[in-house]
Amino acid sequence: MRIPFFHRKEPEREYDRPEPTVLPDMKHGFLSALYLGARTGGDFYDVVMVPKTERIVFLLLDIAGKREHALHIAADVQKAFRSRVPLCFQDGVANEAEELTHLLLRVNRAIIDSVGGSHFCPAFVGSYNQQLGILFYANAGHTPGMLRDSGGVSLLNASGIPLGLFSHVTHDAQMQVLEPGAALVLVSRGLVECKQRAKEKEYGIERAQGLVENAQYADAHQICSAILEDAKKYVGANKSENDWTTFALVRSKAMQSAVSGT
Protein backbone atom coordinates (compact mmCIF):
# COMPACT_ATOMS: atom_id res chain seq x y z
CA MET A 1 0.00 0.00 0.00
CA ARG A 2 1.37 3.37 -0.97
CA ILE A 3 1.51 5.90 1.80
CA PRO A 4 0.38 9.33 0.58
CA PHE A 5 2.99 12.07 0.81
CA PHE A 6 1.89 15.32 2.33
CA HIS A 7 4.05 18.37 1.76
CA ARG A 8 4.27 20.45 4.90
CA LYS A 9 4.29 24.15 4.19
CA GLU A 10 6.92 25.98 6.18
CA PRO A 11 5.53 28.89 8.20
CA GLU A 12 6.42 32.30 6.88
CA ARG A 13 9.17 33.98 8.84
CA GLU A 14 8.34 37.10 10.75
CA TYR A 15 10.78 39.92 10.15
CA ASP A 16 11.50 42.83 12.46
CA ARG A 17 11.79 46.39 11.23
CA PRO A 18 13.98 49.17 12.61
CA GLU A 19 12.47 52.08 14.47
CA PRO A 20 12.16 55.34 12.50
CA THR A 21 15.22 57.54 12.72
CA VAL A 22 14.59 61.03 14.04
CA LEU A 23 17.48 63.33 13.21
CA PRO A 24 18.55 65.40 16.23
CA ASP A 25 18.79 69.18 16.07
CA MET A 26 22.38 70.34 15.97
CA LYS A 27 23.50 73.31 18.03
CA HIS A 28 26.34 74.22 15.70
CA GLY A 29 25.33 72.95 12.29
CA PHE A 30 22.84 71.08 10.14
CA LEU A 31 22.03 67.44 9.60
CA SER A 32 19.93 65.82 6.88
CA ALA A 33 19.25 62.44 5.30
CA LEU A 34 17.01 61.77 2.31
CA TYR A 35 15.90 58.50 0.80
CA LEU A 36 14.54 57.71 -2.65
CA GLY A 37 14.15 54.53 -4.62
CA ALA A 38 12.37 51.30 -5.31
CA ARG A 39 12.32 50.22 -1.66
CA THR A 40 13.80 46.90 -2.63
CA GLY A 41 17.24 47.24 -1.09
CA GLY A 42 18.82 47.48 2.31
CA ASP A 43 19.92 51.11 2.72
CA PHE A 44 19.74 52.03 6.40
CA TYR A 45 20.95 54.94 8.52
CA ASP A 46 20.67 55.90 12.16
CA VAL A 47 21.85 58.81 14.31
CA VAL A 48 22.29 59.11 18.07
CA MET A 49 23.09 62.25 20.03
CA VAL A 50 25.05 61.33 23.14
CA PRO A 51 23.38 62.84 26.23
CA LYS A 52 25.16 65.72 27.96
CA THR A 53 27.74 66.05 25.19
CA GLU A 54 28.20 67.86 21.88
CA ARG A 55 28.73 64.53 20.11
CA ILE A 56 26.64 63.03 17.31
CA VAL A 57 27.24 59.41 16.29
CA PHE A 58 25.88 58.18 12.96
CA LEU A 59 25.82 54.99 10.92
CA LEU A 60 25.07 54.18 7.27
CA LEU A 61 24.67 50.61 6.04
CA ASP A 62 24.17 49.02 2.64
CA ILE A 63 22.80 45.61 3.59
CA ALA A 64 22.86 43.02 0.81
CA GLY A 65 19.79 40.97 0.02
CA LYS A 66 16.04 41.39 -0.30
CA ARG A 67 14.43 44.27 1.52
CA GLU A 68 12.46 42.32 4.18
CA HIS A 69 15.54 40.36 5.22
CA ALA A 70 17.72 43.46 5.12
CA LEU A 71 15.30 45.38 7.35
CA HIS A 72 15.35 42.55 9.85
CA ILE A 73 19.14 42.81 10.01
CA ALA A 74 18.87 46.59 10.28
CA ALA A 75 16.53 46.23 13.26
CA ASP A 76 19.07 44.06 15.10
CA VAL A 77 21.88 46.45 14.20
CA GLN A 78 19.87 49.44 15.41
CA LYS A 79 19.29 47.84 18.80
CA ALA A 80 22.99 47.16 19.21
CA PHE A 81 23.98 50.60 17.90
CA ARG A 82 21.60 52.57 20.12
CA SER A 83 22.47 50.61 23.24
CA ARG A 84 26.22 50.73 22.64
CA VAL A 85 26.71 54.39 21.68
CA PRO A 86 25.99 55.87 25.16
CA LEU A 87 28.40 53.36 26.70
CA CYS A 88 31.20 54.12 24.24
CA PHE A 89 30.93 57.91 24.19
CA GLN A 90 30.27 59.03 27.72
CA ASP A 91 31.50 62.29 29.23
CA GLY A 92 35.27 62.50 29.29
CA VAL A 93 35.88 59.65 26.84
CA ALA A 94 39.64 59.19 26.71
CA ASN A 95 40.14 57.73 23.25
CA GLU A 96 37.35 58.47 20.80
CA ALA A 97 39.03 56.66 17.90
CA GLU A 98 39.36 53.50 19.95
CA GLU A 99 35.74 53.68 21.09
CA LEU A 100 34.58 54.05 17.50
CA THR A 101 36.51 50.90 16.60
CA HIS A 102 34.80 49.06 19.47
CA LEU A 103 31.39 50.32 18.32
CA LEU A 104 31.97 49.09 14.76
CA LEU A 105 33.07 45.71 16.09
CA ARG A 106 29.79 45.45 18.01
CA VAL A 107 27.75 46.41 14.93
CA ASN A 108 29.65 43.82 12.90
CA ARG A 109 28.83 41.17 15.49
CA ALA A 110 25.15 42.16 15.45
CA ILE A 111 25.00 41.57 11.67
CA ILE A 112 26.56 38.13 11.94
CA ASP A 113 24.35 37.14 14.88
CA SER A 114 21.24 38.34 13.05
CA VAL A 115 21.77 36.02 10.07
CA GLY A 116 23.65 33.26 11.86
CA GLY A 117 26.62 33.60 9.53
CA SER A 118 28.33 35.91 7.08
CA HIS A 119 26.46 38.69 5.30
CA PHE A 120 27.92 41.39 3.06
CA CYS A 121 27.31 44.85 4.54
CA PRO A 122 29.38 47.95 3.63
CA ALA A 123 29.19 50.62 6.32
CA PHE A 124 30.25 54.15 7.22
CA VAL A 125 30.24 55.13 10.89
CA GLY A 126 31.25 58.45 12.39
CA SER A 127 31.44 60.38 15.65
CA TYR A 128 31.27 64.16 15.35
CA ASN A 129 32.04 66.69 18.09
CA GLN A 130 29.96 69.76 17.30
CA GLN A 131 31.87 72.16 19.51
CA LEU A 132 35.32 71.27 18.20
CA GLY A 133 34.33 70.28 14.65
CA ILE A 134 36.29 67.03 14.95
CA LEU A 135 35.10 63.95 13.06
CA PHE A 136 36.28 60.42 13.74
CA TYR A 137 35.10 57.94 11.13
CA ALA A 138 35.60 54.46 9.72
CA ASN A 139 34.71 53.47 6.18
CA ALA A 140 34.16 49.72 5.99
CA GLY A 141 33.87 49.06 2.27
CA HIS A 142 31.32 51.85 1.77
CA THR A 143 31.28 54.36 -1.08
CA PRO A 144 33.72 57.20 -0.30
CA GLY A 145 32.55 60.01 1.93
CA MET A 146 32.96 63.51 0.51
CA LEU A 147 34.36 66.30 2.68
CA ARG A 148 33.96 69.79 1.25
CA ASP A 149 35.85 72.73 2.71
CA SER A 150 37.71 75.79 1.47
CA GLY A 151 40.25 73.54 -0.26
CA GLY A 152 37.69 71.69 -2.39
CA VAL A 153 36.29 68.18 -1.95
CA SER A 154 38.38 65.32 -0.60
CA LEU A 155 37.28 61.68 -0.62
CA LEU A 156 37.16 59.60 2.56
CA ASN A 157 37.87 56.24 0.98
CA ALA A 158 37.32 52.80 2.45
CA SER A 159 40.04 51.73 4.85
CA GLY A 160 38.67 48.28 5.67
CA ILE A 161 36.50 45.45 4.39
CA PRO A 162 32.68 45.47 4.63
CA LEU A 163 31.01 44.36 7.84
CA GLY A 164 29.34 41.02 8.33
CA LEU A 165 32.08 38.87 6.83
CA PHE A 166 34.38 38.04 9.76
CA SER A 167 33.46 38.17 13.43
CA HIS A 168 36.67 39.62 14.82
CA VAL A 169 37.80 42.01 12.10
CA THR A 170 38.65 45.52 13.34
CA HIS A 171 38.62 48.88 11.58
CA ASP A 172 40.90 51.74 12.56
CA ALA A 173 39.18 55.10 12.91
CA GLN A 174 40.43 58.12 10.93
CA MET A 175 40.17 61.77 11.96
CA GLN A 176 39.18 64.93 10.07
CA VAL A 177 38.59 68.48 11.28
CA LEU A 178 35.63 70.28 9.73
CA GLU A 179 36.29 73.97 9.37
CA PRO A 180 33.30 76.33 9.80
CA GLY A 181 31.03 75.95 6.77
CA ALA A 182 32.50 72.55 5.81
CA ALA A 183 30.21 69.68 4.83
CA LEU A 184 30.44 65.89 5.06
CA VAL A 185 28.33 64.17 2.39
CA LEU A 186 27.62 60.45 2.02
CA VAL A 187 25.75 58.65 -0.76
CA SER A 188 24.73 55.03 -1.08
CA ARG A 189 26.05 52.54 -3.60
CA GLY A 190 22.64 52.41 -5.29
CA LEU A 191 22.90 56.08 -6.20
CA VAL A 192 26.49 55.87 -7.40
CA GLU A 193 25.71 52.85 -9.59
CA CYS A 194 22.45 54.10 -11.16
CA LYS A 195 22.65 54.23 -14.97
CA GLN A 196 21.34 56.01 -18.00
CA ARG A 197 19.30 53.72 -20.21
CA ALA A 198 20.94 54.83 -23.46
CA LYS A 199 24.61 54.75 -22.43
CA GLU A 200 24.50 52.27 -19.52
CA LYS A 201 27.00 54.56 -17.80
CA GLU A 202 26.96 54.81 -14.03
CA TYR A 203 26.29 58.09 -12.25
CA GLY A 204 29.60 57.63 -10.43
CA ILE A 205 31.22 59.13 -7.36
CA GLU A 206 33.04 61.65 -9.56
CA ARG A 207 29.78 63.29 -10.66
CA ALA A 208 28.57 63.43 -7.06
CA GLN A 209 31.91 64.92 -6.02
CA GLY A 210 31.67 67.63 -8.68
CA LEU A 211 28.14 68.49 -7.62
CA VAL A 212 29.14 68.79 -3.96
CA GLU A 213 32.12 70.96 -4.87
CA ASN A 214 30.06 73.43 -6.91
CA ALA A 215 26.81 73.38 -4.94
CA GLN A 216 25.55 76.53 -3.25
CA TYR A 217 23.89 75.51 -0.01
CA ALA A 218 22.61 77.02 3.19
CA ASP A 219 22.10 73.77 5.05
CA ALA A 220 22.49 69.98 4.79
CA HIS A 221 19.01 69.44 3.36
CA GLN A 222 19.84 71.46 0.26
CA ILE A 223 22.88 69.29 -0.45
CA CYS A 224 20.93 66.04 -0.12
CA SER A 225 18.11 67.37 -2.30
CA ALA A 226 20.52 68.60 -4.99
CA ILE A 227 22.19 65.18 -5.29
CA LEU A 228 18.92 63.27 -5.51
CA GLU A 229 17.52 65.66 -8.11
CA ASP A 230 20.70 65.43 -10.17
CA ALA A 231 20.58 61.61 -10.05
CA LYS A 232 16.94 61.59 -11.17
CA LYS A 233 17.80 63.92 -14.02
CA TYR A 234 20.75 61.71 -14.96
CA VAL A 235 18.81 58.44 -15.25
CA GLY A 236 15.79 60.09 -16.90
CA ALA A 237 13.11 57.52 -17.65
CA ASN A 238 15.35 54.63 -16.67
CA LYS A 239 13.79 53.15 -13.54
CA SER A 240 16.28 52.46 -10.76
CA GLU A 241 16.31 48.99 -9.23
CA ASN A 242 18.12 50.15 -6.10
CA ASP A 243 17.49 52.52 -3.24
CA TRP A 244 19.20 55.90 -3.12
CA THR A 245 20.27 57.49 0.14
CA THR A 246 22.04 60.78 0.80
CA PHE A 247 23.34 62.01 4.14
CA ALA A 248 24.92 65.37 4.92
CA LEU A 249 26.39 67.05 7.98
CA VAL A 250 27.31 70.75 7.76
CA ARG A 251 29.27 72.70 10.35
CA SER A 252 27.79 76.13 10.94
CA LYS A 253 29.65 79.11 9.49
CA ALA A 254 28.70 80.95 12.66
CA MET A 255 31.36 78.91 14.45
CA GLN A 256 33.98 80.99 12.66
CA SER A 257 33.65 83.84 15.13
CA ALA A 258 34.01 81.45 18.05
CA VAL A 259 37.06 79.81 16.54
CA SER A 260 38.77 83.12 15.67
CA GLY A 261 37.79 84.68 18.98
CA THR A 262 36.11 87.67 17.37
Q: Is residue 178 part of a domain?
A: yes
At 258, the pLDDT band (50, 70, 90 cuts) reads very low
At 262, the pLDDT band (50, 70, 90 cuts) reads very low
Domain containing residue 172: 29-260
Q: Is residue 158 part of a domain?
A: yes
Name the more confident of 11 and 159.
159
Q: Is residue 211 part of a domain?
A: yes
12-21, 69-78, 183-192, 252-261: lowest mean pLDDT where? 252-261
Question: What's the confidence (pLDDT) of residue 38?
Answer: 55
Q: Is residue 173 part of a domain?
A: yes
Q: Is residue 125 part of a domain?
A: yes
Number of folded domains that form the chain: 1
Question: What's the confidence (pLDDT) of residue 42?
Answer: 83
Q: Is residue 9 part of a domain?
A: no
CB 44 within 8 A of CB 110: no
- pLDDT tens string 133-165: 999 999 999 999 999 999 999 999 998 999 999
Distance CA 81, CA 85 (A): 6
Whichever domain contains 206, its CATH number is: 3.60.40.10
Q: Is residue 63 part of a domain?
A: yes
Q: Is residue 208 part of a domain?
A: yes
Residue among 237, 162, 151, 220 nearest 186 (CA): 220
